[in-house]
Amino acid sequence: MIRFGETVGNYRVVAKLGEGAMGVVFLAEHPIIGRKAALKVIHPEHARNPEVVARFVTEATAINRVGHPHIVEVTDFGTTPGGDFYFAMEYLEGVALSDVIAKEAPLAPARALTIAAQIADALGASHAHGVIHRDLKPDNVFLVPRGDDPAFVKVLDFGLAKLVSHDVARRFDTRTGVVLGTPYYMSPEQCEGSKEIDHRADVYSLGVVLFEMLTGRLPFGGAGYGEVLMQHLVRRPPSIRSVVPELPEHIDAILQRALAKAPGERFATMEQFREALLQPAAAPAPPSPPRAAPADDGLDRVPRSRAPRAVAFLTVAALAGGAFATGLVHAGSVRRSLALAPRLLAATRPAVAQAQVPPAPSTVSLTFGSEPPGATILAPDGTALGETPLAIHVPRSDRAGHYRFEKPGFAPKEMESIPNVSSSMFVRLEPAEPPERDEAEASAARRRAKASARLQRSLDADSVLAPTFDR
């Protein structure tokens, strides 16, 4: 693993900026010109996972291909002599949009629309280069001072990006039926695990981010991930004026269009979305909602052809629990849960009719895993939480905490987590080296062993009697 003071590429590592389930971000500095960089490195235990490495390469490739002012710049990429995969990004001094929302929301409409327009500008450029972000959320948007603008947008973390141009799609293809993203900001087609996901999924996610900036709340929430995903699929987005009545109707119209369930009813491009954000009063009205289905089936917001798959998938989602902490669940086992669909539908009907906007979650899920399993997890205060595999809920916070993995016979490991979103932590434990004995003690032990061996040989010689013969 990379250590402080080590030189990586053209940079010297000086500090750690943050750590997640898949990797660590270090602060690095050019030793001659003093330029700072953020160095992103895969955890060693994941470096042999082809899928994780492929996403890491995807992120570096995606960012480099676009080269837009509102997207963080990648300056270097490679592997260290020790086998660590890394890429260097421009070092940003500013604040995450999630922190701004937590402290200041609801934001003034002009400020929120300006930030959203810059995000749309960045994503419009990435879409033009065949790159779909697929994990847009406030944590992945950074605001930095730039000239006279105190909130210049930088979009980060293209780790789940989909490269749709034919020359790279074959190398970084996502398996059919895999759900990727952060549930509170995912489009309905992502919630289904559909492979037919295009740039309009980012339009939907930006609509959720804008809703949260303007209200401080999420349009779709719930007690668990299954409930959140079901609401994305079946519940019409609430009016923003039901939360902040003084907001103008044209902003509500923009959000209703961006958050439409069917991709064809959203803004066709990010450029259209951006124009609407910059001139909200001139934005066209959203298309009329589809005709409601009969009230007794509980899915009046979802086309009938999609309902069975959506219900079955969310049944699995509700049972999977902590699996969504990683943002990845395979839908291949969905068909095995169809028998539970009627009960799930009955449970979700009240949520479909619910008019109020659920608050942002007060807790997040942390999932711990280890190889081998059975490691004890110690909380930052030293309290034992349980043994791996383990899933717990903790209060949502922006303060980092260190969790320790301990198992007899293995060297302990620590990981850092910032519990502002659900995440997972996995470590590969290495056998503990035997304790080194003092050299003098070891020498004395060797002398005692030799003396004992000599004594035994002497006793054996003395105890042998000469044979007697009958005469």
Q: Which of 218-232, 324-338, 397-411 has the lowest mean pLDDT?
A: 324-338
Q: Where in the chain is the domain with CATH 3.30.200.20?
A: 7-90
Please state the rounded mean pLDDT for residues 91-101.
92
pLDDT digits (tens, 9 = 90+) for 5-51: 788 888 899 888 877 667 788 899 998 898 899 988 887 777 677 77
Could you list the beta-strand ranges (E) of 260-374.
Answer: 328-330, 363-371
- pLDDT at residue 357 in the model: 43
What does the alpha-carbon distance between residue 306 and residue 230 come to, in Å, rounded to a whole number? 12
Name the catalytic one among 135, 139, 202, 252. Answer: 135
Please state the rounded mean pLDDT for residues 399-416.
90
What does the alpha-carbon distance between residue 14 and residue 3 come to, in Å, rounded to a whole number? 9
Structure tokens at 110: 């002009």
More confident residue, 337 or 450: 450
- pLDDT at residue 397 in the model: 81
Q: Is the pLDDT of residue 375 over 60?
A: yes
Burial of residue 147 (CB within 10 Å: 0-12, 13-18, 19+) is exposed
Please state the rounded mean pLDDT for residues 321-338.
35
- pLDDT at residue 309 in the model: 33
For 167-201, give one letter per residue: b (16+ CB within 10 A) or e. Answer: ebeeebebeebebbbbbbbbbbbbbbbbeebebbb
Fold of 363-428: Immunoglobulin-like (2.60.40)
Q: Is the pLDDT of residue 340 over 70?
A: no
- As its CATH architecture, domain 7-90 has 2-Layer Sandwich (3.30)
pLDDT digits (tens, 9 = 90+) for 131-177: 888 889 999 999 999 888 889 999 987 766 565 644 444 444 444 44
What does the alpha-carbon distance between residue 427 and residue 44 come to, in Å, rounded to a whole number? 9
135 is catalytic: yes
More confident residue, 74 or 334: 74
Q: Percent of the chain having pLDDT more than 70?
A: 69
Residue 99, helix vs strand vs coil:
helix
Q: What is the mean pLDDT of the chain?
A: 74
Q: Is the pLDDT of residue 370 over 90?
A: no
Where does 95-353 sit in CATH, by number? 1.10.510.10
Q: Is the pLDDT of residue 264 over 90?
A: yes
Q: Residue 395 pairs with which residues in a beta bridge?
A: 363
